[in-house]
Amino acid sequence: MSIQVQYDLVILGSGSTAFAAALHAAELGKTAVMTEYRTVGGTCANRGCLPSKNLIEAARLVYHAAHPRYPGLSPVQIPVSWAELVAQKDEIVQEYRAHKYESLLDDPERIQIVPGQARLVSDHEVEVRGADGTRRLVGEQILIATGSQPAIPLVPGLSDVPYLTSDLLSSADDPWGLELREQPDSLLILGSGYIALELGQMFARFGTQVTLISRGRTILSGYEPEIAEALTEILQKEGLRIVTGAQVRGVRKAGEDVTLSVLRHESQQTYTAAKLLVATSRRPNTPEIGLERVGVEVDRAGAVRVDRTLRTTVPHIWAAGDVIGRETGSQMATPVGAHDGKIAAHNALSEEPLREVDHTVIPRTIFTDPQVAVVGMTDEEANAAGIACECNVIPLSVVPRAGAIHDTRGVIKMVLERPTRRVVGVSMLGMNAGEVIGEAAMALRFGATTDDFIDLVHVYPTMAEALKLVALSFTKDVNRLSCCAS
Ligand SMILES: Cc1cc2nc3c(=O)[nH]c(=O)nc-3n(C[C@H](O)[C@H](O)[C@H](O)COP(=O)(O)OP(=O)(O)OC[C@H]3O[C@@H](n4cnc5c(N)ncnc54)[C@H](O)[C@@H]3O)c2cc1C
């Protein structure tokens, strides 16, 4: 069969994964086309990382003004205008999108974008249905980078009530019109992962009464229990109601409100609020894109199956970003997709040897206040992997910076391989944890031991000293050290 090749690389999607791949294709002197049925730039820029971090910071300012940590500073209630906050958030999103994404499309000879819903119709052809008709894009190589979307659990009655998802952060120019234009008085959140916690704390700080409903015994399943416990306490102190161990039985409308029934400790309980936010998990965007037609396999979670070169079960079709879910140990996060998008483009288009992904060191942050940041394995994961490990947890009150500025909230935990003292995991709940974890990530990448953390001269006084102190805590009482001593 002769194939009319129009592009070197046809990409389904236009998020950070797709852009990284398209840019690398251009660097290699190849042509690439992306496709998009929502907004150019994908989830992170338009309804994920960027808008959430923008509003979370505003909420932090409101909270700390009302709760100053220093004796001598009086509390101030900052009036909140949700409409104005949403408008500035939309402006930031538009500016960022124009600067970081749309402006990169200025070389139509190399990178193009076709609006519309894409699906594979043969192993080299992608059909895109857009407002102005249907187009067929023919690619020598194909990359699936369609990302993920909120997964909606099967809850009796849910399809009959209006509910929000993280798409509430979409901006007004999203064609789906899902943006939340009014701040709710009260909010029920189904879920206790990072999106539920970030948005829950944010709404509570703006004055919404927030109830978090978690199926697990604790919030943040999969994280170190000490982190989950300490964060629960902090959030509860701020006024969030956290209901754990709750099995949702049904949801119904109650006038203008929504009522959720749960079974908890063998008793039936109900919770009512003005709005319901479903933030239980995310699922890869693999249905209805023609994968089965061309023989691209998905795993049980619906993620595209890939090998370590990001090749799917069809040799010239590749996949990267959220759409591969946990395949090859990946995680749904923007820098992972951008990193892997480039590798996928390299493997698809370059004459050089194939590159493999390495997902063992992926630092992550939850932007609550204080932040949760983790890299490597938890205690439980290390044990499950058969590593003879040792762990220590210390409170951040031992870190000079935390004490000096009246913010001792949080803990840090280190997991090490006992015989070698090699650090295999770090989890921290604390101020600036997202910045601190970079040092730990670099250390894990190069196989650092506890001695490496101890011997490294840390800037004084910084939160990064928490790493040195937790490394020291395996052999010393860190409560009995003078400043910077080891
Ligand atoms: C509320 C929230 C907060 C987040 N915060 C962070 C954070 O702080 N840090 C972080 O690293 N990550 C964060 N994430 C995750 C991050 O947004 C994703 O990991 C990242 O966007 C994945 O990039 P991607 O390119 O793989 O997919 P996406 O960004 O989802 O892009 C895929 C694109 O493909 C389009 N598409 C799908 N199917 C089709 C089709 N058939 N035809 C045409 N187009 C299609 C979609 O509309 C989408 O625009 C957050 C996510 C959410 C929801």
Tell me the pLDDT tens digit for each residue of 255-308: 999 999 999 999 999 999 999 999 999 999 999 999 999 999 999 999 999 999
d(CA 78, ligand 1 centre) in Å: 33
Place of tokens 């982190």: 227
Encode pLDDT of 336-357 as tens digits. 999 999 999 999 999 999 999 9
Tell whether the model's pLDDT for residue 171 goes beyond 50: yes
Cα 45 to Cα 170: distance, rounded to the nearest angstrom: 9
Provide the 10 A C-beta neighbour count for residue 116. 16
Q: Write the DSSP string, 122-160.
A: ETTEEEEEETTEEEEEEEEEEEE---EEEEPP--TTGGG
**Residue of 10, 334, 336, 359 to test ligand 1 pocket, by largest number of atoms within 8 Å of CB:** 334
d(CA 22, ligand 1 centre) in Å: 16
Structure tokens at 1: 């069969």
Per the omega criterion (within 30 degrees of 0), is the bond before 461 cis?
Answer: yes
Cα 417 to Cα 212: distance, rounded to the nearest angstrom: 36
Question: Which residues, listed in sequence order, are joined to residue 277 by a DSSP beta bridge?
Answer: 164, 189
Q: Whose CA is nearest to atom 43 of ligand 1?
A: 36
Encode pLDDT of 26-45 as tens digits. 999 999 999 999 999 999 99
HSE at residue 249, side-chain half, CA atoms within 13 A, is: 10
Look at residue 176 in the predicted model and tell me its pLDDT.
Answer: 84
Q: Whose CA is nearest to atom 48 of ligand 1?
A: 42
Look at residue 88 in the predicted model and tell me its pLDDT.
Answer: 97
Q: Round the average pLDDT of the chain to a whole number and report it.
A: 96
Q: Whose CA is nearest to atom 27 of ligand 1?
A: 147
Residues in contact with 470: Cβ distance below 8 Å, sequence separation at least 6, in sequence order: 392, 393, 394, 412, 413, 414, 426, 453, 478
Residues with CB under 6 A from ligand 1: 12-18, 35-38, 42-44, 48-49, 52-53, 117-119, 145-148, 166, 169, 195, 285, 289, 321-322, 332-335, 337, 367
d(CA 256, ligand 1 centre) in Å: 32
HSE at residue 89, side-chain half, CA atoms within 13 A, is: 29
* Least confident window among 191-205, 307-321, 391-405, 471-485: 471-485
Q: Shortest CA distance to 175 belongs to which of 137, 130, 134, 144?
A: 130
Q: Whose CA is nearest to atom 20 of ligand 1?
A: 334
Amino acid identity of residue 482, one-letter, is S
Task: Determine what percent of the chain is predicted with pLDDT higher than 90.
Answer: 93
d(CA 363, ligand 1 centre) in Å: 18
Encode pLDDT of 79-91 as tens digits. 999 999 999 999 9
Structure tokens at 310: 């990001």
Look at residue 1 in the predicted model and tell me its pLDDT.
Answer: 42
d(CA 190, ligand 1 centre) in Å: 21
C-alpha separations of 107 from 28, 63, 103, 327, 375 in Å? 14, 45, 9, 33, 38
**Residue of 43, 135, 148, 343 to test ligand 1 pocket, by largest number of atoms within 8 Å of CB:** 43
d(CA 101, ligand 1 centre) in Å: 14
Tell whether the model's pLDDT for residue 485 goes beyond 80: no
d(CA 467, ligand 1 centre) in Å: 32
Sign of CA dihedral 197, 203, 204, 210: negative
Tally of helices (H runs) and strands (E runs) in the chain: 13, 21
- State the average pLDDT over residues 220-244: 98
d(CA 49, ligand 1 centre) in Å: 9
**Residue of 36, 38, 47, 49 to test ligand 1 pocket, by largest number of atoms within 8 Å of CB:** 49
Q: Whose CA is nearest to atom 47 of ligand 1?
A: 38
d(CA 189, ligand 1 centre) in Å: 21
Task: Determine what percent of the chain is predicted with pLDDT higher than 70.
Answer: 99
Structure tokens at 50: 């960027």
**Residue of 23, 44, 340 to test ligand 1 pocket, by largest number of atoms within 8 Å of CB:** 44
Cα 439 to Cα 29: distance, rounded to the nearest angstrom: 36
d(CA 10, ligand 1 centre) in Å: 18
CB 461 within 8 A of CB 401: yes
Tell whether the model's pLDDT for residue 424 goes beyond 50: yes
Structure tokens at 331: 């995680």
Tell whether the model's pLDDT for residue 161 goes beyond 70: yes
CB 144 within 8 A of CB 317: yes
Look at residue 486 in the predicted model and tell me its pLDDT.
Answer: 78
- State the average pLDDT over residues 201-212: 98
Q: Whose CA is nearest to atom 8 of ligand 1?
A: 49
Look at residue 132 in the predicted model and tell me its pLDDT.
Answer: 87
CB 415 within 8 A of CB 445: no
For helices 82-100 and 49-66, what crossing angle results, to 10°?
Answer: 140
Q: Whose CA is nearest to atom 44 of ligand 1?
A: 36
Q: Whose CA is nearest to atom 2 of ligand 1?
A: 48
- State the average pLDDT over residues 406-425: 98
- State the average pLDDT over residues 324-331: 97
HSE at residue 453, side-chain half, CA atoms within 13 A, is: 32
Task: Kindly state the DSSP code that residue 52 receives in the 8-state scheme.
Answer: H
Between residues 481 and 324, the one the model is more confident about: 324
What does residue 190 show for φ and ψ, rounded to 5 degrees? -90, 115
d(CA 381, ligand 1 centre) in Å: 27
d(CA 193, ligand 1 centre) in Å: 17
Q: What global pTM score does this model have? A: 0.96
- State the average pLDDT over residues 55-71: 98
Look at residue 482 in the predicted model and tell me its pLDDT.
Answer: 81
Tell whether the model's pLDDT for residue 49 goes beyond 90: yes
